[in-house]
A and B are shown apart, each in its own frame.
Chain A
Amino acid sequence: MRAPHIQRRMLKAAGDLSAPAQLRFRETLERLAAQLRRALLETGGIIRIEKDHAALWKSVSGQAIGFVDGGLANLPMLGSAPVAARVEGYTVTPGARGAEREKFFVLKRLIDQLYAYDEEGVFEDAFPDVGALRDAARIAIGAAGAVRMLAEQRGPAWVFLRGALVNPVLRFTDAMRDGQVRRRFPDFSDTALADFLPPQEPAREGRGRRFLSVHLRQLQFLEEAQAVVCGVVERESAAVSACRAVLDGLADAPLRDLFPESPREWKNRFRNAVDPSGEDDLAGRRITDSLLFHCVLEPGEALLPVPVNRNELRRAAERRRDVIGRYPTPRVSYLQVTEWNAPLRLEMFSKDLGRFRETTALVMHCALLLPRHAFPSGMDVAERVPNRWSRPLDAHAAARAMRQTLQRNDTRLFDALRLMLCAFEREFLLRPGVYR
């Protein structure tokens, strides 16, 4: 069918299937991609962005652009379990010269510093789903990076967040058993609230201190901003939600002459083929959005955004619906930059749809400069630098120091040390002031 790199990706997606199943998977993918492309072209669902560096950079000259990358950090000598959440920010003004052109910040917190355990007291009694605590911390601190940028006096005109703009949040609620709250999802600590929320927020009490409420406020703040806030996801996921949303959004009329079957039948067949949970040999073998749009889109093309609701009301517990219902539904698009990269998934608020084209063009030109970097500012570079940068500290010395602080029973010192030690190499690269 297409270029070899797509073939390679398809093989990767279907490599562990039996030979006939592989063949079927590939045939299905090719057929679906071709059909979807026809449908989208027919309905104007694909836009084309011309590569023109000179014009693009001229158009954004003098406007600050922010990039935010949040994540988890671990203490290399203690293993790979994350102990801290961090967010890094990079603001750059194209066309500017001198020291003001680039600004950076790093915010890093131990995960347990972010939650208030006072009521629970002992750690063992804490919330059982440690993974949920970490993810919530990661999501909140990432959004906090964007909040922080936009709260500035003359904030950026664009903020690009690495990752989804709106995440599924239903996990981050109390642990239930038999309709009873077994373990309360912990409140955020005062530190966390100060870090995460916009400045001059009224004090929060009770549920207001929980993730659902805090993160909602973050998203609202981002949505209210003048700037375009856009999530950029380069990682492949198993999601097929964009494909479903596209199908849902396709008007029937233009499709009538395209396919032998009726638009409704075609859409149903399409949905089943993308997610063939019924068939044995293809069980669970979804055609992910990323793979599908890689085949649908040509380089320089983007899918016109479609709404993808990650927090469906019907799945939320009754008590949470007031909050969940206010979570925004992002508009999701895929952008194919070059033929050898998987398409980038872009997520925006619906109010920014009018600026979709220029934003996508900006992302595309950023990504063209850094084709091997997923996130278009190159902030993921810290994950790519050779290993010689890691472990600049002697593991023994670090462990000894930690033991000493523990023996002194000084928890603040212990925390400070842990923070200092974790993910040192990342800091190192992202804090330009360090070695100046």
Chain B
Amino acid sequence: MAADFDETGRRQIGAVVGNAGTTEFTFILQQFQARVGDIVMLDMAVPDGAYRGQASIYVWARITDIRRFNPFFPFEAARELADEGIALEDTVLSDARDQLEAVCLILGATPENRFAALSPLTYPVKPASPVYRPPAAAVRELLVGGREHEVKAPLGSLIARSDVEVALSAPRLVSRHLAILAMTGGGKTVAARRIVRELIGHGYPLLILDPHGDYVGLVKCRELLRQEAPGCEIRLFFPDLLMQQAGGDLIEKIVGQMTDGLSEPQADYLRSAFAGLPANEGEPAIAYIERLFEWIVKELKDSDDHHRTPTMRAVGRSLGIVHDRLVRMRWTSETMRRSTKLGGLPFEPLPNPFTRPEDIVRPGQVSILYLGGYDHITQCSIAAITLETLFEFRANLTGRIAPFLTVIEEAHTFIPSAREGTQSAVSLPVVRRVITEGRKFGTGLMLISQRPSRLDETIVSQCNSFLILRLVNPRDQTFVRAVMENLTESDARMIPGFGPGQGIVSGQVVRFPLHIRVKMDEDLLAAEIGDEDFFAEAASWASGGDAATPEQGVAVAAENGQDARQTPAERIAGTMTDKLSAPQSASDRLLKALDGEDLNPLIEFLITEYGRSAGARKRAEGVMNLLQGASDADVCAQFGVQPGSLRGWVKWAVEAQRKIAAAK
């Protein structure tokens, strides 16, 4: 059978066999003529509307599985060959007679002349029908049918056909929600950058929550992007935790999560402090905590109610711990921004979302909020405050800011599943609200995660579109099956086998689920911050980095109008002797072991560890959190490890520090 094109430019590639239905059929495929994911078509006659005659239609289908089998090479033969260590070709067995059997999912039917009107097939496919590979133009018409006038965001091409572009519907992308789910290395960031680039091209306002600095490098591509989108702005922000008007709740939550928790009387007392000393909107949390702290110190001095003194002290001590951690994180963030990895990039402080929201959300501007250096609790808090504030400006319909799309990388940090056992993230209710009401107000979300099963299921299932790339973890696969109603079994089975950038896109952004190969924008590779040459860096190590020293960090703090040299905790150290009665945490052990050491090189080292592998990154991130004083329980929950691992991490970090010190 010659593989010839007919007059419509299509080519016969096989014939339907076996029992065919209205949703699926199987055909025998000629060798080398199609791949899984390919779109095929066949001609069919169906009864017309009045059952008086026949109408000719095209049936469109997607190949979901191709099985190759050689009926002349049964299992026993394979076993005998294997046992004996002989090659098939050396025997009389045949290997030329294998058959390809392709299973197809029927997408629908169209009239012969108009592929835009895809309707469900209601009459079964006829066995023995020839199956065709349609010309690219026909497939393109099918993919965009009825959406010709929508703004499109090209994402890549069909896996099986590089000549058929797959573009997302940009309006549906920005007003609804898209989840990009894949294991590390699956190509999430590459795909997200591709989409972001298209949206930049249309001048759509974007906010990117970027915990790992995957996007900050876009700023290096500014000139390139400006050629496509004249005047576009890429701005890098680093955050500060700011207070909302009724921000006491937030502080209470943070205190609860960063310490061992507050007792009921302690919480009551803290609330009374909030009432007595309200926060100013947009006031840095560190400054507010210091004011609170002073207020409590004064109260302690003035108070003669000896029963309440321990409660007041405990609250003060907790605030001290929180303050300590916030300062330390601010310093880590600063150090990271100055590291060889990010140094030189034009970071600016995040404009106050309460007072200057239009500096964050603005047509033609991408705002990348780099959250590196902050622990998850704080990242969540910053995200919650920023997102909620901006959302309110949309929801109150004042027209203060334009509609915008928020990209949330590492979404499992911000919307962890309740099963994760972490205390509820403060960002969770905010994201939930945005995802349910966002459509009304033009605040779309793009959620990106490498651990789907750690995501809040109800939130993710409200995403109207999905881009699923490679996922191997069975729990993640189960999760994806649960949240994506229209995922077929055969598609689900493909997910672990995808290569980088290959996946399934489905939902409102496309007409029907497609197997896609995401286009890798080579010219955005400069944005790949993580792929620096660590060997070169290691070679020049002895000469010393240009990272900030703690002194510099303190200097930064001082610039911000605080005396970071002396924390509030230290200031009232004498009154807080009971602080030390708690069992020693991993964090304490680590800090004690490193007491008096210069930690800059260690932190630089941890940062390089981030880029080495997923495991190394986890460990480095964990140690970073411990350095910031995170509790054992928090770190274990965040990283999904046993407390025993923390001991290992502490040992590893202390040893690394020893080695670094010895090398100097």
Contact = CB atoms under 8 A, between A and B. Distances in A.
Nearest to A57: B90
B84 A54 contact: yes
B92 A436 contact: no
B96 interface: yes
A369 interface: yes
B17 A94 contact: no
Interface in A357-401: 365-366, 368-373, 376-378, 381-382, 384-385, 388-389, 391-394, 397
Interface in B41-88: 71-74, 76-77, 80-81, 84-86
Interface stretch (A95-103, A224-232, A258-266, A288-296): A95-103
B94 A92 contact: yes
B72 A381 contact: yes
A332 to B, nearest CB: 23
A71 to B, nearest CB: 17
Contacts of A102: 94-97
A54 B80 CA distance: 12
Nearest to A435: B30
B18 interface: yes
A365 B95 CA distance: 17
A394 B15 CA distance: 13
B84 A435 contact: no
A65 interface: yes
Nearest to A52: B84
B127 A389 contact: no
A90 B89 CA distance: 14
B89 A94 contact: yes
B29 interface: yes
Given A61-B90, A372-B76, A432-B96, A394 B128 contact: yes
A1 interface: no
B126 interface: yes
A435 B76 contact: no
A38 interface: no
Contacts of B280: none
A57 B128 contact: no
Contacts of A434: 1
A388 B31 contact: no
B151 interface: no
A429 B84 contact: no
A53 interface: yes
B31 A377 contact: no
A394 B133 CA distance: 23
B459 to A, nearest CB: 44
B28 interface: yes
B229 interface: no
A57 B86 contact: yes
B645 interface: no
Contacts of A54: 84-86
B93 A369 contact: yes
A378 B93 CA distance: 8
Contacts of A371: 76, 80
Contacts of B94: 90, 92, 102, 377-378, 432
A365 B84 CA distance: 11
Nearest to A387: B18
A435 B89 contact: no
Contacts of A90: 94
Contacts of A389: 17-18
A58 B89 CA distance: 11
Interface in B439-471: none
Contact of B96 (A57, A101, A365): A101
Given A388-B18, A392-B17, A435-B31, A429 B97 contact: yes
Contacts of A432: 94, 96-97
Chain A residues touching B, range = 35 or more
Nearest to B89: A97
Question: Interface extent on B, as a size class?
Answer: 35 or more
Contacts of A53: 80, 84, 86, 91
Contacts of A385: 71
B373 interface: no
Nearest to B81: A369
A388 B74 contact: no
Interface string B1-31: 1000000000000110111000000001111
A92 B92 contact: yes
A156 B657 CA distance: 76
B21 to A, nearest CB: 14
B128 A393 contact: yes
Interface string A109-152: 00000000000000000000000000000000000000000000
A371 B73 CA distance: 11
Interface string B253-272: 00000000000000000000
Nearest to A101: B89
Interface string A398-436: 000000000000000000000000000000011010111
Contacts of B287: none
Contact of B74 (A96, A99, A370, A376): A370
A213 to B, nearest CB: 34
Nearest to B95: A102
Nearest to A369: B77
A436 B31 contact: yes
Contacts of A369: 76-77, 80-81, 91-93
A59 to B, nearest CB: 11
A385 B28 CA distance: 15
A365 B80 CA distance: 10
Nearest to B126: A394
Nearest to A160: B92
Interface in B513-528: none
B487 interface: no
Contacts of A95: 89-90
A371 B72 CA distance: 12
B633 interface: no
Contacts of B128: 392-394, 397
Nearest to A91: B92
B424 interface: no
B74 A372 contact: yes
B567 interface: no
A90 B127 CA distance: 29
Contacts of A377: 92, 94
Contacts of B91: 53, 57, 94, 365-366, 369
Nearest to B85: A54
A368 B15 contact: no
Max count, chain A CB within 10 A of own CB: residue among B1, B76, B85, B96: B96
Residue in A54, A378, A436 with the greatest tally of chain B CB atoms within 10 Å: A378
B100 interface: yes
Interface in B338-381: none
Contacts of A365: 91
B92 A366 contact: yes
A87 to B, nearest CB: 17
A381 B97 CA distance: 11
A103 to B, nearest CB: 9
A101 B31 CA distance: 18
Contacts of A67: 92
Given A372-B74, A435-B1, 16 more contacts: A57-B91, A61-B90, A94-B90, A102-B97, A368-B80, A378-B72, A378-B77, A378-B93, A388-B17, A388-B19, A393-B127, A393-B128, A429-B97, A432-B97, A435-B31, A435-B99
Q: Nearest 10 pairs between A and B by C-beta?
A: A53-B84, A57-B90, A388-B18, A432-B97, A102-B96, A369-B77, A432-B96, A378-B72, A392-B17, A92-B92
17 contacts: A57-B90, A65-B92, A94-B90, A101-B96, A102-B95, A102-B97, A366-B92, A370-B76, A372-B74, A373-B74, A378-B93, A382-B71, A384-B71, A388-B17, A388-B18, A389-B18, A397-B128
Interface of A: 53-54, 57-58, 61, 65, 67, 90, 92, 94-97, 99, 101-102, 365-366, 368-373, 376-378, 381-382, 384-385, 388-389, 391-394, 397, 429-430, 432, 434-436
